Structure 1
Amino acid sequence: MKVAIKKKLATIGTVAAVALVSLAPPARADELTGTLKKIHDDGTIVLGVREASIPFSYANGNRTIGYSQTIALAIVDEIRKTLGMPNLRVREVTITSANRFLMLVNNQIDLECGSTTHTRERENVAAFSNSFFQYAVRMIARRNAGITDFADLAGKPVVTTAGTSDERLVRQLNSDKQLNMRIASVKDHSDAFAAVKADRAVAFVMDEPILYGFRATDPRPDDFVVTGTPLGYESYACMFRKGDEPFRELVNRVIAKMQTSGEAERLYNVWFTQPIPPHGINLNYPLSAEMRTLFAHPNDKALD
């Protein structure tokens, strides 16, 4: 009986604590620092968004949509509550793989949740949130090109996106294996896939889910195959300025809550196992065991 009473009291205490947190007043303006102070003073948060990182962050008419864009907007909602600013404005700035870090450091964007890989080297210029996606680095090629693995690319034209970790991996492979690939680095993912479609390159090396996104949204998806032994495994995270612990804590709190509550898995199913805009194509990319582990144990560790 005493044990039951203690458990009941403990439960009441937990509920009361949650209620107190939910009723906590907004942060005082004179206590704010870093990114939260900037957002408060500007009355605006500036999000870095992508044009063609399907299905993570991409343009759909007049707005940006996607799996990681939804996470970014959940973070914005938490910022609104924390600052007591329900009318906080959101301004989107289109970024590329090549300019995203410079735009962050120069205060042109406050937060980027798109398809940015968290690596230890990049921690020198930016801070990263809890990971929200884990994946393999592979390639996409025409099905009739006879490309099944990276050794098949020897002496051939290959494309990747400039300023990505994938560019570093494929150039390292080229050097280590002396494949003599003719590697072109282009501005953005859509330009790289266009090169394969136009037969200017035999393969596009990139993050596996992005390759599946291009394949699924192409008018002739069966003409292409995602293939190759993975060059490595990496993770995506949101990116923000270094040395900002209050902002890091807020961002990680949102992502961890989404992952452990089941909300992240529901969001995953929306974007990776069901038809998505603009053409209603299904990527058919089921949740992996690695992703389930990530959702159960949120963390901000780089995988390289």
Structure 2
Amino acid sequence: MIEGETMKWLVAVLVSSILWQSAVASDLIASSPTLSHIVSTGEIAIGHRTSELPFSYMVNDQPTGYAIDLCLDVIEGLEEALEIDNIKVVFVPVTPANRFILVRNGTVDIECGVTTNTPERRRQAAFSYPHFLTTTRYVSLTEKHMGGLEDLAGQSVVSTTGTLNITQLNELNRTKDLNISVMLSRNHEEAFSMVASGQASAFVMDDILLAGLISSASDPAAFHISETTLSRAEPYGLMMPPDDSVFVEQVNKVLDGIYQSDAIFDLYEKWFLQPVPPDNHVLNLPLAPELAAIFANPEQYIE
């Protein structure tokens, strides 16, 4: 008799728990335009880059990379939180010039790439907990023996349209009176090619992206990344619509779980310490203490 009553009690508790979880999921969906759209369509649109190795780039016409893997893990966590299965992932290519527009107009639900979180950009979009830290540097031909800020004086220097790096380069050019001829490129590959061909003396960009471009070059030794930094260390974040705090909170909740497990360290090792497709070069970039501290205690970046 006691066992029967106990079983009934356990069943009642289980049913109550299931109903409570379903109610929580329903409340989340109802309070978030982005989650509501994802549930109603059964799809989530990931904004991805085509050439930002190792974060978000194409291999055999398929988006891949560290940020892509991280976003796919986030989607699995959202499926669990929302109690739905098999959310279809729709990949939408984005560029530095159009990424904010596509997030704001709802074409992209979450951008999984290399967008730096800054106060100005937070007026246009929301950001997740940081998933990487980067610093602006420049790449030049090794034979030119460039490495300091003074070496840019009077030179033709290129950077990519729509990036924070252009703003930083123009500011340095003005405040340091460097007389740089600033050139614009449509994408990172074009800018890198301009340095390789001698059209530009240097290419200013995030140091990790420069490292990725060099690793894919036919002669990596021909290129040199500056010792001088042109910015402080700044975070990359997953970018989301600006007016959906519930969605941002859920993404961060999933990220927190990933960061507190071995999953993030396995992911980091895969993309920064192991051979990276398609050429199987190794970036050999150990986890920085500053980034490890973020993973240990993730917080919303507001500086």
TM-score by length of 2: 0.89
Question: Following the alignment from structure 1 to structure 2, what is the Cα–Cα distance between the partners of residues 145 and 254?
Answer: 46
* Whole-angstrom distance in 2 between the partners of 1:105 and 1:281: 36
Given that 1:47 and 1:91 are in contact with CA atoms closer than 8 Å, whether structure 2 keeps it comes out as yes
Q: Matched residues in 2 for 1:202 and 1:250: separation? A: 45
Instruction: Output the CA distance in 1 between the equivalents of 2:187 and 2:264.
Output: 27
Q: Which residue does the alignment assign to 2:10? A: none
1:65 aligns with 2:73: no
Mapping for residues 116-127 of structure 1, pairs under 5 Å? 116-127=115-126
1:118-169 deviation line (CA, Å, top 9, x unaligned): 0001111101110111121111111101211121011111111111111111
CA distance in 2, matches of 1:165, 1:147: 22
- Offset of 1:247 from its aligned partner? 0.7
Structure 2: how far apart are the matches of 1:278 and 1:205? Answer: 25
Q: Displacement, 1:243?
A: 2.4
The aligned length equals: 284
Find the aligned partners of 2:173 and 2:134 in 1 and give their Cα distance. 21
| CA positional deviation for 1:302 | 4.2
Q: 1:202 to 1:284 in 2, by over 3 A?
A: same
Give the SS at the match of 1:293.
helix
Counterpart-to-counterpart distance in 1, 2:282 and 2:273:
6
In the alignment, which residue of structure 2 is the partner of 1:107? 106
Could you report, residue by residue, the CA deviation over 1:195-223 in whole angstroms, capped at 9, with x for unpaired residues? 11121111111111111111111111111
* Distance in 2 of aligned mates of 1:302 and 1:31: 27
Whole-Å Cα distance in 2 between the matches of residues 91 and 153 of structure 1?
42
Contact 2:78 2:254 in 1 (8 A): no
Tell me the amino acid that sits aligned with residue 57 of structure 2. Y
Alignment of 1:1-304 (within 5 A): 24-25=21-22, 27-28=25-26, 31-232=30-231, 233-303=233-303
Q: Which runs of 4+ in 1 moved over 4 A?
A: none
Contact 1:159 1:185 in 2 (8 A): yes
- Structure 1 vs Structure 2 CA RMSD: 1.9
Structure 2 distance, partners of 1:266, 1:185, is: 37
Per the normalisation by structure 1, the TM-score is 0.89
Task: Report if the CA contact (8 A) 1:157-1:182 is conserved.
Answer: yes
> Highest CA radius of gyration, 1 or 2?
2
Percentage of pairs with the same residue:
34
* Structure 1, gaps ≥5 residues long: 1-15
Structure 1 residues 60 and 302: CA distance shift in structure 2, 3 A: farther
Unaligned runs of 5+ in 2: 1-12
The secondary structure found in structure 1 opposite 2:100 is helix
> Distance between the aligned counterparts of 1:264 and 1:100, measured in 2?
25
1:22-73 Cα shifts (integer Å, max 9, x gaps): x933823873531000111222111100001110000111211111111111
- Say if 1:234 and 1:302, in contact at 8 Å, map to a contact too: no
Shift of 1:251: 0.8
Counterpart of 1:8 in structure 2 is none
Q: Structure 2: how far apart are the matches of 1:87 and 1:259?
A: 23
Contact 1:96–1:187 (8 Å) recurs in 2: no
1:28 alignment partner, SS class: helix
